[in-house]
C-alpha cells in the first residue's frame, strides 16, 4: 500500500471535492430545474460540505508542511469555491512540485515555527492526524449546520 503523503492526500481530496460538487449540482438541477426531488441536495449537500472542509484542512496542512507561500494556500482554499476548480489547482501544484510524496515535518529537527512544531507532532502519528482532522472538520461542519445556510433558510 502506498503511503498517504502530502501530494497524494491533496490529490485525493481535490478529486473528492470535485466529485461531490458534481453530485450537488445534479441534486440542484433535480430540485430547481426539474422540480423532481430535493433528495439529491439533501444527501449531496452535507457530503459536499464535509468534503469541502476536509479539502480546506488538507490544503492548509499540506501548504504549511510543504512551505507554500500564503498566497498559494489562499489560492488553494479559493479553488474549492467554484465547481471543479480544485482539479486544475491540484494539477498546477503537482506540475510545479509543490506537494511531494513525503511529509517534511515528520522528520525531526530544524528551525520551526510554533505552528510547524504542532503540525509535526500530529504528522508523526498519522492515525492521530486523521482523527484530529476529521474531528476538527466535523466540529466546524456541526457549527455551520447550527448557523444555517447563507442568507437564511
Please tell me the distance from the alpha carbon of residue 118 to that of residue 105, in angstroms, as a whole number.
10
| pTM reported for the whole predicted model | 0.81
Cell readout for 95 is 506540475
Q: Of 3-7, 82-86, 120-124, where does mean pLDDT reach its minimum?
A: 120-124
Please tell me the distance from the alpha carbon of residue 103 to that of residue 121, in angstroms, as a whole number.
12
Phi, psi (rounded to 5 degrees) for 34? -105, -10
Report pLDDT digits (tens) over 35-93. Answer: 898 888 999 999 999 899 899 999 999 999 999 999 999 999 999 999 999 999 999 99
Name the residue among 137, 115, 93, 113 with its Cα closest to residue 5.
93
Say if residue 1's pLDDT is above 60.
no
Total residues found in the chain within this entry: 153
Which residues, including other chains, have CB under 8 Å from residue 28's CB and lie 6 or more apart? 40, 41
Name the residue among 101, 75, 71 with its Cα closest to residue 88.
75
Please tell me the distance from the alpha carbon of residue 103 to that of residue 14, in angstroms, as a whole number.
18
User: What is the C-alpha end-to-end distance of the chain, expressed in Å?
Assistant: 45
Cell readout for 78 is 479559493
Per cent of the chain over pLDDT 70 is: 94
Please tell me the distance from the alpha carbon of residue 49 to that of residue 137, in angstroms, as a whole number.
10
Amino acid at each position: 500500500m502506498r503511503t498517504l503523503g502530502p501530494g497524494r492526500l491533496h490529490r485525493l481530496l481535490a478529486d473528492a471535492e470535485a466529485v461531490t460538487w458534481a453530485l450537488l449540482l445534479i441534486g440542484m438541477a433535480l430540485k430547481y430545474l426539474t422540480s423532481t426531488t430535493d433528495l439529491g441536495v439533501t444527501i449531496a449537500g452535507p457530503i459536499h460540505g464535509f468534503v469541502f472542509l476536509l479539502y480546506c484542512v488538507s490544503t492548509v496542512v499540506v501548504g504549511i508542511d510543504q512551505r507554500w507561500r500564503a498566497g498559494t494556500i489562499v489560492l488553494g482554499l479559493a479553488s474549492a469555491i467554484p465547481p471543479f476548480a480544485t482539479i486544475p489547482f491540484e494539477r498546477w501544484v503537482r506540475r510545479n512540485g509543490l506537494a511531494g510524496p513525503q511529509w517534511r515535518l515528520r522528520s525531526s529537527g530544524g528551525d520551526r515555527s510554533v505552528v510547524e512544531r504542532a503540525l509535526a507532532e500530529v504528522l508523526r502519528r498519522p492515525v492521530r492526524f486523521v482523527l484530529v482532522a476529521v474531528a476538527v472538520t466535523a466540529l466546524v461542519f456541526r457549527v455551520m449546520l447550527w448557523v444555517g445556510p447563507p442568507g437564511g433558510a
